[in-house]
Every structure is written in C-alpha cells, then in structure tokens.
Amino acid sequence: MNIAVAGTGYVGLVAGVCFAEVGHTVTCVDVDEKKVKLMESGVSPIYEEGLEELMKKNNATGRLKYTTDYASAYAGADAIFIGVGTPEMPDGSANLSFIATVCRQIAESVVHDCLVVVKSTVPVGTNDKVEQFIKDFLDKDVKVEVASNPEFLAQGTAVHDTLHAARIIIGTESKEAETKLMEIYEPFHLPIVSVKRRSAEMIKYACNDFLALKISYMNDIANLCELVGADIEDVAKGMSYDKRIGERFLNAGIGFGGSCFPKDTKALKFLAKQNGYELKTVEACVDVNTRQKTRLYEKAKDRMITFDGLKVAVLGLTFKAGTDDLREAPSSDNIKLLLEQGADIYAFDPAGVPRAKLQFPEGEIGRGRMNYVASPEEALDQANICFVFTEWPEIKSIRPADYKRLMKIPLVYDGRNLYSTEEMREEKVEYYSIGR
C-alpha cells in the first residue's frame, strides 16, 4: 500500500521505517530540507537502536523515501499517518497546532479517497475534530475518513516495540476504515484490538498514566522505606512474584521523564478538569514525580555546606539509557539547581551531550560552570561529589573501587540504585541511593 507519514520524529520516522520494512511503499514528510537530506543519506536524526540499519536497507529498495513536498506525497497516498508532535501547553493541555497544519495540507492536497490515521497522542475527541477540519478545507470531491492508531513504543526500543508490539490499537467509525487499517497491519502478524476512535484515544492515555502511576507509587514507597529501615529492592522483588502486579516498572529512582509520561499525565489531568472531574490518582502521580526528581539534590544540600566551587561529576544526562532525549530528564532539574549554587559540573553521557549543550552551553552559566567530558572517569577525577542520573552501561561498569580511587571525596548520590550498598560501604564510599 502507498503510505505517507507526516512528521519524522520518534513516532513518525519509526512508523514509516517499519511500514517500509514489512513491504509498504512509504514517503516520510518533513518541513526541514536539511533533515530530509540527512535521512536520504541513511542517517537518522534521532538516536534509536536499529533505526539507521532499517533506513539504509529500505532506502536502497526504494520502498522508503523522504520529502518536503507534502502535496505530492499526500496526493498519491492510500493512507496518511500523522505523527507530528503535540507538545505540552503551560496549562497542561496538548498543543494541536502541528496537527491542524498537517490536516489543512492534507485537505488541500488529496485527489482521491483516502484514510487519515492519527498516531500522535491527542486528547479524547481530537479525531472527531480532525475529520471535520479536513472536510471543512477539502478542495476536491473526495471521501476522507479519519482513524486513531496510538503508538506504544518506548524510546530506546522503538523499532522492536513497533515490529513486535504486544498489540496494535485501532479506532475507527466505519467498517471501511477498519478494513483498510487491518490490511495495512496484516504483514506485522500482531494482535489487533479494534475499538471506536474515542476509546482508542483513551487507551493511550490510560496505559501511559497507569505506568506513570506505578513508577510514582514505587518511588513513594521507596521514600517511606528509607524512613522505616526497609529496602525497596527487597520490597520490589517480593511484589514482582504477584502476577496481578507484574515485575516491570517496579524500580525506584529519581522519577520519570521523556516525551510521554510527564506530558500525558498532565494532559489527562487537564482533560478531566475540563469535564468537571478530578483525577486524584493522576494528580498525586504528577506531584510525587515532581518532588522525586530533586530528592537527591536535597539530600546532598543537607550534607554539604555549599556547592560553590566544588567539582561535581554528573553521570548521565538523558532521561533513560538508549536515547538522546533530555525532555523532562531529572538531570536537567538538578543541573539547573547545582549551577545556581555555583557548582563546577563535569558531565558525561554517551548520547545526550549535543542536546544538553542546547540547554546548558559549555562554559560559565550564572554562578557555576558547565563542562562536558568523554568518559565517566574524566568526570570523576578529583570530583568532590557525584550524581548518577542515567543507567547507561558505561556508567554501570564503573565499580565502587573506582569512585574511591578517582574522586577527591568519594561521595556518591545514585538515582538509579546501580550499586550494592554493601560494596560501597566496603570500599569506604559514602553512598546515597533511593529507598535503601
């Protein structure tokens, strides 16, 4: 089938590449000419395992193309997938301006009947508005139907999550739309759950917010564990055997970040408020996560007289390993506070430095100074204090004895619980983690 994909971020590019991989002819549309040329050369604009290999493979077969010419791409498409961003507004609502722009372009470009599929995460009821908006601006006498097809990929495993999904959710309002989407996804050989559009939109939010709730709950329990002398890792292990709970998302830490959980929890909270309802569980989740992000900084602040002039090692910048994404990353909140207190920061991350430099340029920032280094060892060398924010393998490979050997003061605040408290104690490293 001939498919056009609007947007080449995590959602759009991964979807487009995977559609090509299973045999469809795909044109990815983006407004950035430089980005298009980069993708044509087989280089991915995002850091995602396995993506470049599939791009090069499908570029070579001719099944995968890139363009800024949206009119041509949409005119010849049997189905158009919308994967543009829906960033968070100051009040927590979703910004749908990019969706609206694409919808108008589609309406002015299509020349035959087609299916428009919204993959972007959008508030419940948006697909209804999208369909009406397109009809309002249609130039030709053609039939355009709109379907919902939310994505459930995780950054760092996005390609695998798309090709080997637990299920595919489709939301349609007609048998014709359902049949066409089923045909598009048939080569994936995956379970398909077909529901109405509004239910599909809600499934996306309900899933993400449930996982966010699980993370915040474990962080809350971890904080209580510290007060009563329990170990959160023992608690999580005991919980994981209960099939009603499951073993995933039980790791305590410094809170969730990224492009999904923070935005989606706030968006669902906003949607509830719009409809006169208070989602107390989700509101509590948001509050817990906000506090959790800087919990280690507050511990360190109580321990230190000042951060002014101290060498502070920061290991990990991205919100999780396997991605270069710093959106809502706990490291950013902590770096900002440390710089305000005059810290001399030496930061290491194997993928996130280019994006981090956009937020924290190298050099003096306020009272502090920002430095980026090529290895964890360089960051730790003669450091007065260390913060661990991301569970990259390069960071996990640092042993307790290395902290003792390299640091001027072996003082470590670990937001990922990467190390054994006993080993750190044996190596005489002053070690603070979460819930232990």
CB-based contacts of 46: which residues, under 8 Å, 6+ apart?
A: 9, 10, 13, 324
Q: Please say whether the beta carbons of 335 and 347 come within 8 A.
A: yes
φ, ψ for residue 337 (rounded to 5)?
-65, -40
Question: Minimal CA–CA distance to 12: which of 91, 99, 93?
Answer: 99
Query: SS3 of 375, please?
Result: coil
Tokens representing residue 297 in the block: 């900084």
Q: Please say whether the beta carbons of 64 and 28 come within 8 A.
A: yes
φ, ψ for residue 150 (rounded to 5)?
-60, 150
Tokens representing residue 319 in the block: 């919100």
Catalytic residue among 114, 225, 260, 386: 260
Edge-first strand listing for the sheet containing 25-29: 64-67, 25-29, 2-6, 79-82, 114-118, 144-148, 168-171, 192-195
Task: List helix spans (H) across 255-392.
Answer: 261-274, 280-293, 295-303, 330-340, 353-359, 376-380
Examine the residue annotation and report whether 28 is marked as an active-site residue of this protein.
no
Question: Minimal CA–CA distance to 254: which of 215, 307, 285, 224?
Answer: 215
Residue 349 half-sphere exposure toward CB, CA atoms < 13 A: 31
- Beta bridge partners, 388, equal 315, 414
What is the sign of the dihedral through the CA atoms of 294, 298, 300 and 301? positive
**Which residue numbers are catalytic?**
260
